[in-house]
Structure 1
Amino acid sequence: MIDIINLAKAPEHIPQIAAWHQAEWGYLNPGGTVETRIERMKRYLSGAKIPAMYIAVDGSALLGTAALVDSDMDSHPELSPWLASVFVNPDYRKRGVGAALVKKVMEEARIQGISPLYLFTPDQQRFYESLGWEFIAHENYRGGNATLMKIHFK
């Protein structure tokens, strides 16, 4: 059974998460390392509502991540807060894990009275649209393509 919990309850997963994120998005932060990601991820352990990272687990298996952060694109400091770091272990993709993680962060934002919420994605626009997100713009961000999106909660 898949559970979605706050990373603060299972910090032992940070090294694996840092390795995944570095492999997936390292190109966005040239010069960054797994070690620097591990250090930055410690901010998620404070118990704050923002930043917060949620992880999907099945027993002791780590399946994926999603975070609620103040800012995720330095080119858009006027936009806040953001859904970020949505990642699913390739062995568990196409099983609803990513959607469950995104919905968890959306629910946390809604509970906190946050609206709108933003995200950017290099290649998952259709996935987010299927969850109710709206297209804002296509941009070149740090040498790659990015689609900027938002969602409003009622």
Structure 2
Amino acid sequence: MNNGKDAIFICLKDQPELLDKASHWFHSKWGVPLAEYRTSMKESLMQKSKIPRWYLVLNTKQEIVAGAGIIENDFHDRKDLTPNLCALFVEPEYRNNGIARSILDFARKDAGKAGFSTLYLITDHTTFYEKCGWSFLTMANDSSGPVRVYAAPTIT
């Protein structure tokens, strides 16, 4: 499979046995320390609070081909803009098949079920998120400098 037709979208909390595989996969894509992902993902499995939340997209071989998370703050200075979608990544051979848009919608629905009305994200992209129903909100700063903050209403 190199398209999104056979993709399986899951919440990590529904398949906790994928924690190690998921934490390694996200670490390999973003370079954030493995321990940070493991800690956040373990917290999501305990479900003591509404966030963090982690999502995976699996192919028919049960390989992770895409994923994203929802965390309180994605390392920017606008602590009032929470929760944040983070770590969205689709493997190159699976891109341009609607998987990223589907993850965004999946996360917006899940966040809506959790009681959130708005989801935020930071990015340096300028058109992709608008095509997916997100709106530019403001600029913020992270460790690399200015970043664009987008917002989208959750889906109920």
TM-score bracket, normalised by the shorter chain, equals 0.7 to 0.9
Partner of 1:38: 38
Is the aligned partner of 1:129 residue 2:134? no
Residues 148 and 69 (structure 1), Cα distance of their counterparts in 2 relative to 1, 3 Å cut: same
> Quick one: distance in 1 between partners of 2:17 and 2:65?
14
Tell me the secondary structure at the aligned position of residue 75 of structure 1: coil
Where does the alignment leave 5 or more consecutive residues of structure 2 unmatched? 1-5
> Quick one: distance in 2 between partners of 1:108 and 1:39?
21
TM-score between both structures, scaled by the size of structure 2: 0.78
Partner of 2:82: 80
Question: Do the aligned partners of 1:135 and 1:149 also contact (CA within 8 Å) in 2?
Answer: yes
Partner of 1:70: 72
Tell me the secondary structure at the aligned position of residue 127 of structure 2: helix
> Quick one: distance in 1 between partners of 2:68 and 2:122?
13
Write out the 4+ residue segments of structure 1 that deviate beyond 6 Å after TM superposition: none
Partner of 1:54: 55
Residues 40 and 151 (structure 1), Cα distance of their counterparts in 2 relative to 1, 3 Å cut: closer
After TM superposition, the structure 1 stretch with the greater mean CA deviation from structure 2, 6-15 or 61-70, is 6-15
Match of 1:6 among 1, 7, 11: 11
> Quick one: distance in 1 between partners of 2:85 and 2:153?
13
Question: Do the aligned partners of 1:63 and 1:97 also contact (CA within 8 Å) in 2?
Answer: no
Percent identity of the aligned residues? Answer: 27
Following superposition, the deviation at residue 21 of structure 1 comes to: 3.1
Following superposition, the deviation at residue 36 of structure 1 comes to: 4.0
Question: Do the aligned partners of 1:6 and 1:53 also contact (CA within 8 Å) in 2?
Answer: yes
TM-score between both structures, scaled by the size of structure 1: 0.79
Q: CA RMSD in A?
A: 2.4
> Quick one: distance in 2 between partners of 1:14 and 1:125?
32
Give a deviation string over 1:119-143, Cα, whole Å, max 9, x none. 1113x33121111111122344211
Where does the alignment leave 5 or more consecutive residues of structure 1 unmatched? 27-31
> Quick one: distance in 2 between partners of 1:104 and 1:36?
23
Give a deviation string over 1:94-126, Cα, whole Å, max 9, x none. 11111111100111122334222211113x331
Give a deviation string over 1:39-82, Cα, whole Å, max 9, x none. 33222222454221111112312111122222223411112222
